[in-house]
Amino acid sequence: MRRSFGGLAGMMFTAGKAAFVAELGGRLVGGVTLGAFRIDAARRGGVVKWLFTLPEARGHGVASALVDRALAWFDDQGVTDTIACVEALNAGSSNRFARRGFAPLGFLEQVRRFGWRLPTVWWHANHVVDVGHVLWARDAGGLAAASPAADVEERARGLADLAATLAWHAAFAAILLARHGAGLDPAAIATFALAVGAVVAVRTGGQALVGRAAGLRLRYLPWETGLLLAGAIALVFGGPFVAPGSLVPRARVWSPRALAPTLALMAFAGAAAVALLGLVAWWGVAAGVAPDLAEPVLLYARMMLLVDVLLPFFPMTAFSGRRMLEASPVGWGALAVVTAALWLVAPGF
């Protein structure tokens, strides 16, 4: 598992209630660990905790065989709702689950499905303070967790999730101000909420423009437990953190190889838009132009660029850094220089 995910992820490994391994040529090459829990009197949940295959064994159907064995175990356990937690743009895993009747659940869909028991589902799915992971679900019998929606309904759901993300960031801005002794000044809270909203919206809008121009149909998925992490950082440490969510292809199954160039361009567009906004805010602070707004915009632009550009490794892989670095080291380097300049030269909070 450490060879598949890396040493840091290995520290979070849990064996669950059952585990199965796969053999190829008499050698162990992969595994899956599973959990089961009671949702309510009528429903029992099952969780795919970890699924991994050795790099040299990929392409032999090992992971698919492990998922099939896991589903058989869930059936034996009387599971009605099967859950998996997948990084938003991990097409290899999401495609595998989608072909077996799983569907991604936005936050509002999760609330409708699990109600007040949702935190219990998150806990058992190891979906508590991760960044950029999405909850997938499957009903008993392989029925998709959410039926295919019309385009208008799909866009409305995504916009509602984006609005909720912005609202939560606004609440965290109020916590941040209170931690720094500013109290609950409505004007200051509104200014900070506008600043963080502008940074998240500019990033998402830049990605959406490029994706739509390439003819890609997109869906916005929030990072609901990433928002918990952002709130915890604001509450405990008094610092900002951003959990902007992901724009993902609307198709349940899609080719990462075919879409990699478009996804990389989307990543560059979102990060470049935030960098431009940060430079404008830097100028505003230096020139004394609307400094009350420019300062918090600069604060959140810097934080967004830090995690979106300078940290292209686990657990920040849901941000844009890795896709940009793999597509164009030179382009990534240029944005990294801008990010470093905003951190080292521009005034801080």
Cis-peptide, bond into residue 315, ω within 30° of zero: yes
Tokens of 17: 């209630």
Domains and CATH numbers, the chain: 2-142 (3.40.630.30), 151-344 (no CATH)
Under DSSP, is residue 249 helix (H, G, I), strand (E, B) or coil?
strand
Long-range contacts of the stretch 261-266 (C-beta < 8 A, 24+): 261/327, 262/210, 262/211, 262/214, 262/216, 263/89, 263/323, 264/323, 264/324, 264/326, 264/327, 264/328, 265/210, 265/214, 265/327, 266/206, 266/207, 266/208, 266/210, 266/211
Closest CA to 132 of 10, 246, 240: 246
Residue 103 pairs in a beta bridge with 137
Q: Which residues pair with 38 in a beta bridge?
A: 44
pTM of the predicted protein model: 0.85
| pLDDT tens for each residue of 306-318 | 999 999 987 888 8
Residues of the chain with pLDDT under 70: 5-12, 140-154, 182-183, 346-349
Which stretches within 214-328 are classed as H helix? Answer: 224-236, 256-287, 291-305, 321-327
The DSSP bridge partners found for residue 133 are 87
Report strand pairing: 44-53 vs 81-87.
parallel
Eight-class DSSP state of 144: B
DSSP string, 2-62: HHHH-HHHHTT---BSEEEEEEETTEEEEEEEEEEEE-SSS-EEEEEEEEEE-GGGTTSSH
Token pair, residue 42, equals 């009528």
User: Which are the contacts of 189, defined by CB distance < 8 A and separation ≥ 6?
Assistant: 170, 173, 174, 177
Please tell me the predicted confidence (pLDDT) of residue 151. Answer: 61
User: From CA 67, how far away is CA 34, in angstroms rounded?
Assistant: 10
Rounded Cα gap, residues 197 and 199, in angstroms = 5
